[in-house]
């Protein structure tokens, strides 16, 4: 019995390596070098797969999970009620918030009587799983197809409301992130949730 036959194979993909003597051409590596050069040169004439980022940007799918947006309702009030469910659902513990009570003169700013005075997401922790979006009962947080840009300081990756909250004059369309059933339900304006 040879040494190779003694070796037990755990799969049927085992391959016995031959130890045959090299020919003269194989010894001087010349054919192998030519073959390597042929592969290199052949790539000059093939379609380029690299993209000159950031000058050229590849199209991103609309359902790509990138930077979050804190949504406002139709009247521009913040939807988030600081319930904490997104933070609880977040597997990366990336979300922190401080709740506050809405005052009488803040009715036009916040939809619910409790709101997030501070809302922060640590983008270095975030794995863009979308669980926060799934957990939110107020349709207040969604992920968008905006990519988080690179930065130098770790602190600059902690996004507060200044960078998360939807600007009043530049609304984010999140309809691509909602199911057909939800979009149908949202047409019913008798439901206060939909306004
Ligand atoms: S996308 Fe996932 S990891 Fe990121 S904040 Fe939301 S729940 Fe946390
Ligand atoms: S974003 Fe949604 S889940 Fe998170 S605290 Fe606000 S209302 Fe609650």
Q: Provide the strand spans (E) within 54-163.
A: 68-70, 95-101, 114-122, 141-143, 158-159
Q: Which of 7, 23, 26, 25 is nearest to 15 (CA)?
A: 7
Ligand 1 in contact with 127 (CB < 6 A)? yes
Q: Which of 150, 134, 133 is nearest to 142 (CA)?
A: 133
Query: What stretch of H or E contains 122?
Result: strand 114-122
Ligand 2 in contact with 69 (CB < 6 A)? no
Q: Is the pLDDT of residue 21 over 50?
A: yes
Fold observed for domain 68-194 = Alpha-Beta Plaits (3.30.70)
Residue range 175-180: mean pLDDT, rounded: 88
- Identify the pLDDT of residue 1: 47
Strand bridging mode 158-159 / 141-143: unpaired
Spatial distance between the Cα atoms of 131 and 153, rounded to a whole number of angstroms: 26
Determine the 3-state secondary structure of 62 from DSSP: coil
- Identify the pLDDT of residue 7: 58
- Identify the pLDDT of residue 188: 85
In this structure, how many other beta carbons lie within 10 angstroms of the beta carbon of residue 66?
14
Grade residue 34 by pLDDT with cuts at 50, 70 and 90: very high
Query: What stretch of H or E contains 99?
Result: strand 95-101
Ligand 1 in contact with 95 (CB < 6 A)? yes
Predicted TM-score of the model (pTM): 0.76
Average pLDDT over the chain reads: 90
- Identify the pLDDT of residue 160: 97
Grade residue 183 by pLDDT with cuts at 50, 70 and 90: confident
Query: Which tens digit of pLDDT belongs to each residue from 86-137?
Result: 999 999 999 999 999 999 999 999 999 999 999 999 999 999 999 999 999 9
Ligand 2 in contact with 86 (CB < 6 A)? yes
Residue range 163-171: mean pLDDT, rounded: 95
Spatial distance between the Cα atoms of 178 and 137, rounded to a whole number of angstroms: 13
Distance 123 CA to ligand 1 centre (A): 9
Q: What is the 8-class DSSP label of residue 56?
A: S
Q: Provide the strand spans (E) within the chain.
A: 68-70, 95-101, 114-122, 141-143, 158-159
Closest-approaching ligand to the CA atom of 78: 2
For ligand 2, what atom is nearest to the CA of residue 97? 5
Among 46-50, 68-72, 170-174, 189-193, which stretch is predicted with the lowest mean pLDDT? 189-193
- Identify the pLDDT of residue 13: 80
Ligand 2 in contact with 68 (CB < 6 A)? no
Ligand 2 in contact with 143 (CB < 6 A)? no
Q: Which of 23, 22, 18 is nearest to 2 (CA)?
A: 18
Determine the 3-state secondary structure of 141 from DSSP: strand
Distance 138 CA to ligand 2 centre (A): 7
Q: Is the pLDDT of residue 192 over 80?
A: no
Q: Best of 64, 85, 92, 142 to mutate for ligand 1, by most ligand atoms within 8 A of CB?
A: 92
Ligand 2 in contact with 164 (CB < 6 A)? no
Residue range 62-86: mean pLDDT, rounded: 95
Share of the chain above pLDDT 70, in %: 95
Query: Where in the chain are the domains?
Result: 68-194
In this structure, how many other beta carbons lie within 10 angstroms of the beta carbon of residue 27?
9
């Amino acid at each position: 019995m040879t040494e190779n036959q003694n070796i037990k194979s755990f799969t049927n993909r085992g391959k016995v390596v031959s130890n045959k003597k090299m020919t003269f051409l194989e010894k001087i590596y010349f054919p192998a070098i030519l073959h390597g050069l042929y592969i290199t040169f052949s790539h000059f004439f093939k379609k380029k797969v690299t993209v000159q980022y950031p000058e050229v940007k590849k199209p991103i799918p609309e359902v790509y999970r990138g930077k979050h947006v804190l949504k406002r309702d139709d009247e521009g009030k913040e939807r988030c009620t600081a319930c904490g469910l997104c933070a609880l659902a977040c597997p990366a513990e990336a979300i922190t918030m401080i709740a506050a009570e809405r005052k009488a003169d803040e009715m036009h700013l916040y939809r619910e009587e409790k709101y997030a005075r501070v809302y922060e997401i640590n983008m270095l922790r975030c794995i863009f799983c979308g669980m926060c979006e799934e957990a939110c009962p107020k349709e207040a947080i969604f992920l968008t197809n905006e990519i988080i840009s690179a930065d130098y300081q770790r602190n600059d990756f902690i996004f507060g409301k200044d960078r998360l909250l939807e600007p009043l004059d530049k609304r984010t369309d999140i309809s691509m992130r909602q199911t057909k059933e939800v979009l149908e339900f949202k047409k019913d304006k008798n439901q206060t949730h939909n306004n």
